[in-house]
Amino acid sequence: MIHYKSNEEIEIIKQGAEILGRAHAEVAKLIKPGITTESLDKVAEDYIMDHQGVPSFKGYNGFPGSLCISVNEQVVHGIPGSTTLQSGDIVSIDCGVFYQGFHSDAAYTYPVGEVSEEVARLLRVTKESLYLGIDNAKSGNRIGDIGFAIQQYVENFGFSVVRELVGHGIGKTLHESPEVPNYGRRGRGTKLKSGLILAIEPMVNMGVRNVIQESDGWTIRTRDHQPSAHFEHTVAVMNGTPEILTTHKYIEEVFKI
């Protein structure tokens, strides 16, 4: 069942998303060689809790962290721990905030120090594909229009789209209907209506699209151990232009993008 949100509910999600965006920026300030992923997790958790939010991920189906932190070939759902970031790594930080009864969700993949030209291109293309997908999240379109835009763009650069993991509706629960694949055909799938809130999140691999689950029961990595990138926004479907409720603005201020 799809739950459509009122303007008042969308405003609450946007307020929670502001906390989320600023928590991401606190993490972004610390992205450098030598930092442990558990240190990043604590910074985000403390910031969210200090601003009247609750980390959406902590305890979700038993997940132990407030952030999903996925390094290099890890696609998503990496568990924070003693892993130390190294120069040349990339690290996906996925975070959710529960605020006044509603969730918001956003992800960003960071370079650590200097990365190769091809890895930088992977990050750029994945981020650009997110916004192409968002452009299609408007009333009258269908879920397939979002996935088609992402898939076509990514594959034109020789990269691949993960199929087993998808975006999702979001609201009072972290994962709601409908699913939002990052691949698809135009004009197929659920018709989009104003008031629908979607977490759109391309997960793009440098090599093959296939993934496997690691032995911890959470972390998903690429089968061929090639790097993977992940960017995400929470978006309100509107009659004209989609409204992005989350923000990467504070992250990009840190990195002076």
Residue 256 is predicted with a pLDDT of 80
Which residues have a Cβ under 8 Å from the Cβ of 101 and sit 6 or more positions away? 12, 172
Mean pLDDT of 166-171: 98
Question: How many domains does the chain fold into?
Answer: 1
Q: pLDDT (tens digit, 9 = 90+) per residue, 78-134?
A: 999 999 999 999 999 999 999 999 999 999 999 999 999 999 999 999 999 999 999
Mean pLDDT of 26-51: 98
Place of tokens 């999140």: 201
Mean pLDDT of 243-252: 97
- Whether 196 is covered by a domain: the verdict is yes
Asked if 66 and 95 count as a contact pair (C-beta separation under 8 A), the reply is yes
Q: Which domain holds residue 49?
A: 7-255
Give me the amino acid identity at 151: Q
- pLDDT over 70 for what percent of the chain? 100
Query: 123 phi and psi, to 5 degrees?
Result: -65, -45
CA dihedral 203, 180, 255, 32 (to 10 degrees): -40
Confidence check: pLDDT of 255 > 90: no
Residue 257 is predicted with a pLDDT of 67
For residue 24, give the 3-state DSSP assignment: helix
CATH number (domain holding residue 139): 3.90.230.10
Q: Where are the alpha helices (DSSP H) in the chain?
A: 7-28, 37-50, 117-135, 143-156, 249-255
- Whether 2 is covered by a domain: the verdict is no
For residue 60, give the 3-state DSSP assignment: helix
- Whether 128 is covered by a domain: the verdict is yes
Q: What is the largest CA-CA distance in the chain?
A: 48
- Whether 124 is covered by a domain: the verdict is yes
- Whether 186 is covered by a domain: the verdict is yes
β pairing state of 176-180 and 197-200 = unpaired
Give me the amino acid identity at 59: G
For residue 91, give the 3-state DSSP assignment: strand
- Whether 116 is covered by a domain: the verdict is yes
Q: Which two tokens stand for residue 217?
A: 């029961």
- Whether 141 is covered by a domain: the verdict is yes
Residue 131 is predicted with a pLDDT of 98
Report how far residue 136's alpha carbon sits from residue 118's, in angstroms, rounded to the nearest whole number. Answer: 27
DSSP state of 218: S
Report how far residue 29's alpha carbon sits from residue 251's, in angstroms, rounded to the nearest whole number. Answer: 8
- Whether 1 is covered by a domain: the verdict is no
